[in-house]
Structure 1
Amino acid sequence: MKEIHTEIEIAAGKDEVWSVLTSFAAYPDWNPFLRTVAAALRPDAPVAMSVAVGARTLDLDAAIMRVAPGRELRWAGPISRLQGVVFRGEHYFVMEEIAPRRVRFVHGERFAGLAIPLLGGWLDRTLTPAYTAMNVALKRRVEAAAAR
């Protein structure tokens, strides 16, 4: 098993962070990592996404695992069980209120599968900066909206 874990503090309430995080149609306007996401916010709903990884864009699929408005969104993929034996990820976003109008946004992914020993270093080098860039962009977008 391999995990990528990032965090950032956002000066806003959990509902404001949740609103921006789950407004998937606006992702192309601000999100440097998850370029597009199409999904209904309910468990087992399919997720179709395009992710920017370095200079490449990858189209991936997943399924929603958990939806807890204002607290947590989680999906896992790929949907194919055969592919999942080789490589599987469970992506999570968690919002923790640490003070009034202050949220710790936790963003990460747990990976498993036969390919993980070969891909672990690449995942660290590629995904940690991508997740961090998304966190910074989310913080800017949420805080700008909260200031209006």
Structure 2
Amino acid sequence: MLTLKFVRSIKADLPTAWQVIVDFPAYKEWNPFVTRCSAELQPGTPIVMQVNMGPFELEQTEQVTQVEHEKLFEYRMRPVGRWLYSKRQHRLEAVGTREIRYTSYFELRGWLSPIVTLLMGFFLWRGFRRMTNAVKTRAEALAP
């Protein structure tokens, strides 16, 4: 199992940070990890991403599972039985009038997860960390 969790304090309001996370066409402008993305904010719909894994790019299609406006955006890999499955979350929480807590969470489970972690764990860790930092930078730059 691989679990990655990054938490950042962002000097912005909830609507601004939420817009950064869900403005999928703009990812190519600021996101170093998910360089292309299309999705609808509707559970059960696909999210299609181009993911920068360092030495290569990977097209990934997953499924939106939860959307709570300005609070949570979650999607999951379609499970391959007990072999492999994942969960990705973007969580936002107000901690002041112009400050929020952003939590970026990813977990990979299943019998194949140790092999995937061995082969791609560093690239996943680096990518999610870089994306988390970029969300903070972008939201603070766009904050009114």
The residue type equivalent to 1:57 in the other structure is: E
Cα distance, 1:113 vs structure 2:
1.5
Match of 2:66 in 1: 66
Does the C-alpha gap of structure 1 residues 84 and 75 become closer, same or farther in structure 2, counting only changes over 3 Å?
A: farther
Does the C-alpha gap of structure 1 residues 19 and 84 become closer, same or farther in structure 2, counting only changes over 3 Å?
A: farther
The residue type equivalent to 2:123 in the other structure is: T
TM-score by length of 1: 0.89
TM-score by length of 2: 0.92
* Structure 2 Cα separation of the partners of residues 119 and 46 of structure 1: 22
Cα distance, 1:55 vs structure 2:
2.0
Matched, 1:48 2:48: yes
Matched, 1:111 2:118: no
Cα distance, 1:120 vs structure 2:
3.0
Cα distance, 1:32 vs structure 2:
0.4
Describe the SS at the equivalent of 1:86: coil
* Structure 2 Cα separation of the partners of residues 138 and 128 of structure 1: 15
Question: Aligned runs of 1:8-87 on 2, under 5 Å?
Answer: 8-77=8-77, 79=78, 81=79, 83-87=80-84
Does the C-alpha gap of structure 1 residues 90 and 84 become closer, same or farther in structure 2, counting only changes over 3 Å?
A: farther
Does the C-alpha gap of structure 1 residues 63 and 53 become closer, same or farther in structure 2, counting only changes over 3 Å?
A: same
* Structure 2 Cα separation of the partners of residues 136 and 46 of structure 1: 25
The question of whether the paired residues in 2 share the 8 Å contact of 1:5 and 1:128 is answered with no
Identical columns (%):
24
Cα distance, 1:141 vs structure 2:
1.3
Question: Aligned runs of 1:106-145 on 2, under 5 Å?
Answer: 106-145=103-142
* Structure 2 Cα separation of the partners of residues 38 and 120 of structure 1: 26
Cα distance, 1:16 vs structure 2:
0.8
